[in-house]
Amino acid sequence: MRINKKAQAGTMQSSDLIVFVEPADDLTIEIESTVQQQFGHLIETRIKQVLKRLSVEQCRIMISDRGALDYAIDARVEAALRRAN
């Protein structure tokens, strides 16, 4: 999937996250999270899984996380990527 434009998905409510996506020449992932120390590694893993599933190889993706569980990260990231397509 190609990222053609800027897009975002999600909210700043507790247990949710906001995902921002924009076109880029390479792949960068930026994570800001209330549970960075404990779960930053799992959040990143999950984002990478979604990128791989949707075959996204070039984009800049930034998330601001308020303690979302994996299923919500998965859904919001996919929603943002599809909106940016």
Partner 1 sequence: MSKNSLGREIPDIWRGRVLRPYRDPFSVQPEGPRVARPIRRVNPGDNKLLGSLREAIEASGLRDGMTIGAHHHLRNGDQVLNSVVKEIAAMGIRDIGIASSSIHPVHEVLIPFIRDGVITRIESGVNGRISRMVSTGQLDVPIVTRTHGGRGRAMMCGDIKVDVAFVGAPTCDEYGNICASKGPSACGVVGYSHSDADYADCVIAVTDNLVPYPAFPISIPQTKVDYVVQVDSLGDPSKIVSTTTRVTTDPIGLQIAKYAATVIDLSGLLKTGFSFQTGAGGASLATAANVRDLMRKRGIVGSFGAGGITGYFVDMLEEGLLEALFDVQSFDLKAVASVGRNPAHIEMSADMYANPFNAGCVVNRLDCVVLGAREIDTNFNVNVNTESDGTLNGNTGGHADTAAGAKLAIVVAPSIRARLPIVRDEVTTISTPGETIDAIVTERGVALNSKYQALAPDLRRRGIPVKSIVELRDEIYGITGAPRPIEFTDNIVGLVEYRDGTITDVIRQVKG
Partner 2 sequence: MIHPQLRRSLLYVPGNMPAMLQNIPIFSCDVCIIDLEDAVPRTEKDTARLLSRRFIEGYTQRNKEVYVRINGLDTPYFRDDLAQILPAMPDGIRLPKCEHPSHLRRIDDLLTEFEEYLGCEIGRFKVIASVESAQGIINVNETARASSRLVALGFSAEDYTANLQIDRPKTGEHLVVPRQLLLMACRAADIQAIDTVWADASDQEGFRRECEHIKVLGFDGKSLINPRQIDVLHEVLAPKPDEIDYALQVVDAIKGAREQGTGVVSLGGKMIDAPVVARAVRVLLSAKSLGLVDTDIDEQVIYGDADS
Q: What are the beta bridge partners of residue 63?
A: 19, 31
| 39 interface partner picked from partner 2, partner 1, none, CB below 5 to 8 A per type | partner 1
CB atoms within 10 A of CB 46: 19
Tell which one of 1, 16, 44, 85 touches partner 2 (CB under 8 A): 16
Measured CA to CA, the distance from residue 70 to residue 33 in angstroms comes to: 13
| 83 interface partner picked from partner 2, partner 1, none, CB below 5 to 8 A per type | partner 2
Binding residues for partner 2, total number by CB under 8 A? 18
DSSP 57: -
Among residues 26 and 51, whose Cβ is nearest to partner 2? Answer: 51
Interacting span for partner 1 (CB under 8 A) from 18-26, 38-46, 55-63, 75-83: 38-46
| 72 binding partner 2? (CB under 8 A) | yes
List, as own/partner pairs, every contact residues 39-42 make where C-beta atoms lie below 8 angstroms and the sequence separation is at least 24, other chains included. Answer: 42/70
**Residue-level length of the chain:** 85
